[in-house]
Amino acid sequence: MTDAPGPAPRPLADIRVVDLSRALAGPYATMMMADAGADVVKVEPPGGDDSRGWLPYVDRNGHRESAYYMSANRNKRSVVLDLKSPEGADRLRWLVAQADVLVENYRPGVLDRLGLGLDRLRELNPRLVTLSITGFGKGGPDGARPGFDQIVQAEAGLMALTGQPGGTPQRVGLPMCDILAGLFGAFGVMTALRAREHTGRGQAVETSLLAAVVGVHVFHGVGWLSAGVEPVLTGNRHPSIAPYGVFGCEDADIVIAVGSESLWRKFAPIVGLDADRPDIATNIDRVGRADALQKEIDALLADRTAEEVLAALDAAGVPAGRIRTVPEVYDWAQVRESMVLTLPHPTLGDLEMPASPLQLSEHGDPRREAPPSLGGDQDAVFAGYAPSGGRR
């Protein structure tokens, strides 16, 4: 008999990433690469990534670190470079000469003014894949504008899709523009690395917070562009399906998603409705009278507990759920089993944070390296550095 093979090397173990990005969109993208095994060198300015100073803080053992910063920077190494200085620029070029990927989220033109434009860096290393994440895109009349998440939530229509009917548009409670841009950016890098296997050359990958949100308008975008249907605020109800949203029970609100006609026929008798009643027999009928149907279902559930209703819906196979607070989510056994990562931190002790959403069957346990201290890897990363582009 032979021993069972151990876990395979992490998929990106041979990839080095130079990460010039700050705050969230770029760091989230590079954290995805780091989770997959890439050697991500986070290049920070003197004083560090701005997010190191953002709330909330983890305060333990006489040390304090930003939870915001740590949420997007695990499994990386940190160095400090002043890119405005000749030595800092030279050290960056030295890193780039050995890298596979460079990620940046400066405003368009900033790196060019520093003499570190991406075209010049790819001349130095033709295999280099570069990822640029901007607020509004590099071209167009608004390309030079700075982009922060809530500004783009407003400008990209996300706020206009979020809120109660007749009410004020609302921001989404997570920085979705940043996160989506990071996700698309990471996918773009993987696509470019795959292309490099065929061409031997790197290329420029670009995305923006604006493009990321417009890219996920899905049926709202097609509905307006091709059918002339403008979305309106629908609150917790789905604009295309009914009943689908939040409903009130005796002791708590719950969420119910009747997403097909077969589910409707299972759902209706549970709450005391006739599935064949002419005014609600089809989804088109139900969406057309969604307000009245909402009130009718709320009335039918008003004297039943949430636990009772959820149990009945679950037994029938109708999707439904409770509305959990963030603490309740992390107390939920379903989440704690595989969606919470514990890793050792050199000053704070064991830290818990959301784990990578991806699990690969052939690659063992996730990486568990704490977010780096500012410049904590300076000596190791620059071992062998020599001025003017010298290599190890």
* Bridge partner list, 244: 257
Catalytic residue among 90, 178, 253, 291: 178
Tell me if residue 331 is catalytic.
no
Residue 340's CB is within 10 A of a number of other CB atoms, namely: 13
Inter-residue contact 175 to 246 (CB < 8 Å): no
Inter-residue contact 101 to 193 (CB < 8 Å): yes
β-strands 63-66, 340-345: how paired? unpaired
- 220: which DSSP letter? H
Taking each continuous run of H as one helix and of E as one strand, the counts in the chain are 16, 13
Contacts of 127 (CB under 8 A, 6+ apart): 100, 196, 200, 201, 202
User: What gap in Å lies between CA 136 and CA 24, rounded to an integer?
Assistant: 16
For residue 216, give the amino acid letter.
V
State the distance between the two ends of the chain, measured CA to CA, in whole angstroms.
43
**Nearest CA to 38 among 73, 10, 71, 69?**
10
Residues designated as active site? 178
